[in-house]
Amino acid sequence: MDRAVLVCKKLVEVAKGFSASELYAVATSAAREARNHIEFLERLRNEAGIDVKIISGREESRLIYLGISSGIDIKNQIAVFIDIGGGSTEVILGDQTAYYDLESLGLGAIRLTSLFLYKSIQNPVPSQTYEKMKRHVQKKMVRLIERINTKKIALAFGSSGTIINLAEIAYKMFDYDIDRNNLVLRYKELQKVIETLRSLPLGERKQVPGINPYRADIIIGGAVILETFMEEFNLKELTVSYRDLRYGMLIDYLQKQKGFPQYQTMSVRDGSVLHLCRLFNVNENHAHIVQSLCLELFDKTKAIGLHGFGDHERELLRYSALLHDVGNIISFRGHHLHSFYIIQNAELLGFDQEEIMLMANIVRFHRKKLPGKKEPSFQELDKEDQQIVYILSFFLRLAEKLDRSHSHLVQHVDVSFLDKDTFRLTLHCVHGECDLEQWSVLSDKKLFEKVFEKRLVINVRTSDSAKTDEEVLDNIAGETKRSEIV
């Protein structure tokens, strides 16, 4: 952690030296698995001045795909991409414009070295040990192999320091001129490179032409992953790419900017959320109505100064509204709890872990009780994020109640202050009565007053009339009595 903080401090200084106005940083496998990752991120934030986001394995795969595919021309051919890191290996199947399969495996150069070679790091690697390593890799790849081998793979690409260095060693070993724009690693040549590296103790391995001596201790751990990968997918050669996760981060950032040449009509975030909604049979019509009402509440209450959130919080509310009912597929009773669990674990693409947790909590508290001190998921958030959840979950709660009948009776809302302590919410109902919706909102008057410290007054406007709180309660009471009589 000390070294990471120091390095990041220097990187921040360099960035500021180039007048960078934004810093975009992510953490991958090591931070995902470290028990003390919260302490690590806090140190980076406080000491290095950089806000690092932890991303999921599948999100890492997506960014690697963006990085590699944005620098090659493969058109409609199906390609497989592999990136071997220290703790994980990312494998992607896709073409020029879309990925079909994203996988993050618990395999990495450092991880395998620690598992199989740690006690004999200075020695050559015996054939028996190397075969054990291969079997371990094959076992980890079984399901991936079953899925991807059903496709006809035309091309293969590899990124990461391990793959680049293995290719450089092969070029030196076979006396090829290195062309960094067209670096190709052939399976048969990789096998000979591995055989040479395995036969040498660490000290001599560091002297092999082309090797990065700082990788000499872990390169066999990475090589066994690559060899097994090429063997299982029957790849005779693999094109090496210098465009990795960092390039993918750049492309991902640019694609979110309007006017970028590769800007798509549906963002990765939109596509990921829509996919999850359809996977769990969400009522999309109701979800979009709730989303529309949520955003109207957000925008109009911001305009009158009820809150001061910005575009980022608005976007999270937009996605939370679409996802709020995914838990219904398990059970309507307690579906907010099921939705929380699904969103938290779905590895939504295009989002970092902090955003996913915010959305999961917004959905978690859109019904039943408000966020409280005894709720573990809420207490894990910092104070600023807690306030976001506290307010946005209530907007989602109101919007859900405004479409209680799932009939879009409330078309839109207006907000205003009657005085400094009284907030008025006007429901515009153009299709007739919306007593159920008004009554549902009225049931949360006390919660509204607790959240916003304002008294709530509700009016309903139809095409020819306006109703007050008292009138709608009378109507509800009357309907109840009639039903009891029947």
Band of pLDDT at residue 479, cut at 50, 70 and 90: very low
**What pLDDT was estimated at residue 266?**
63
**What is the C-alpha separation between 326 and 336, in angstroms, rounded?**
8
pLDDT of residue 366 exceeding 80: yes
| Residues 81 and 172 occupy one common structural domain | yes
| Residues 123 and 246 occupy one common structural domain | yes
pLDDT in tens, 274-300: 989 999 999 999 999 999 999 999 999
**What is the C-alpha separation between 281 and 326, in angstroms, rounded?**
7
Burial class (CB in 10 A: 0-12, 13-18, 19+), 2: exposed
What is the CATH classification number for the domain harbouring 36?
3.30.420.40
| Residues 80 and 46 occupy one common structural domain | no
Mean pLDDT within 9-22 = 94
Q: Is residue 476 included in any domain, yes or no?
A: yes
Calculate helix-pair angle for 445-452, 383-401, nearest 10 degrees: 150
Mean pLDDT within 327-352 = 86
Mean pLDDT within 101-111 = 94
Of residues 470 and 431, more confidently modeled: 431
**What pLDDT was estimated at residue 216?**
95
Of residues 473 and 371, more confidently modeled: 371
The secondary structure element, H or E, covering residue 407 is none
Q: Is residue 256 included in any domain, yes or no?
A: no
How many domains would you assign to the chain?
4
**What is the C-alpha separation between 107 and 116, in angstroms, rounded?**
12
**Host domain of residue 140:** 57-251
Phi, psi (rounded to 5 degrees) for 425: -115, 120
**Last residue within a domain, chosen from 401, 429, 461:** 401
**Last residue within a domain, chosen from 54, 76, 96:** 54
Amino acid letter for position 471: E
Question: SS3 of 453, please?
Answer: coil
**What is the C-alpha separation between 371 and 367, in angstroms, rounded?**
10
| Residues 275 and 418 occupy one common structural domain | no
pLDDT of residue 475 exceeding 80: no
| Residues 100 and 152 occupy one common structural domain | yes
Q: Is residue 304 included in any domain, yes or no?
A: yes
**SS3 labels along 128-140:** HHHHHHHHHHHHH
Sheet architecture: strand order including 79-84: 99-105, 89-94, 79-84, 155-159, 237-240, 184-186
Band of pLDDT at residue 445, cut at 50, 70 and 90: confident
Length of the chain: 486
**What is the C-alpha separation between 241 and 182, in angstroms, rounded?**
8
Question: SS3 of 90, please?
Answer: strand
**What is the C-alpha separation between 96 and 70, in angstroms, rounded?**
8
| Residues 164 and 185 occupy one common structural domain | yes
Q: Is residue 369 included in any domain, yes or no?
A: yes
| Residues 6 and 153 occupy one common structural domain | no
pLDDT in tens, 16-34: 999 999 999 999 999 999 9
Mean pLDDT within 237-241 = 93
**What is the C-alpha separation between 351 and 381, in angstroms, rounded?**
17
**What is the C-alpha separation between 373 and 382, in angstroms, rounded?**
12
Nearest to 68 by CA among 245, 255, 254: 245
**What pLDDT was estimated at residue 379?**
82
Calculate helix-pair angle for 311-323, 383-401, nearest 10 degrees: 50
Q: Token match 């009138």: residue?
A: 471
**What is the C-alpha separation between 57 and 35, in angstroms, rounded?**
17
Name the percent of the chain lying above pLDDT 90.
63
| Residues 215 and 82 occupy one common structural domain | yes
Q: Is residue 259 included in any domain, yes or no?
A: no
Question: SS3 of 414, please?
Answer: strand
| Residues 194 and 85 occupy one common structural domain | yes
pLDDT of residue 483 exceeding 50: no
Q: pTM to 2 decimals?
A: 0.72
pLDDT of residue 165 exceeding 70: yes
Phi, psi (rounded to 5 degrees) for 186: -95, 145
- Please provide the average confidence, as pLDDT, over all residues in the chain: 88
| Residues 280 and 228 occupy one common structural domain | no
Give 177-245 as a DSSP string: PP-TTS-EEEHHHHHHHHHHHHTS-HHHHTTSTT--GGGTTTHHHHHHHHHHHHHHTT-SEEEE-S--H
Q: Is residue 260 included in any domain, yes or no?
A: no
pLDDT of residue 181 exceeding 80: no
**What pLDDT was estimated at residue 472?**
46
Q: Is residue 194 included in any domain, yes or no?
A: yes
**What pLDDT was estimated at residue 73?**
75
**What pLDDT was estimated at residue 377?**
81
Amino acid letter for position 343: I
379: which residues sit within 8 A by CB, 6+ positions away? Answer: 373
| Residues 11 and 100 occupy one common structural domain | no
In 10 A of CB 479, how many CB atoms? Answer: 13
Using the 8-state DSSP alphabet, how is residue 371 labeled? P
What is the CATH classification number for the domain harbouring 209?
3.30.420.150
Q: Token match 């709530």: residue?
A: 456
**Last residue within a domain, chosen from 203, 229, 251:** 251
**What pLDDT was estimated at residue 476?**
42
**What is the C-alpha separation between 399 and 296, in angstroms, rounded?**
9
**What pLDDT was estimated at residue 231?**
95
Q: Is residue 382 included in any domain, yes or no?
A: yes
| Residues 338 and 451 occupy one common structural domain | no
pLDDT of residue 178 exceeding 80: no
Using the 8-state DSSP alphabet, how is residue 463 labeled? S
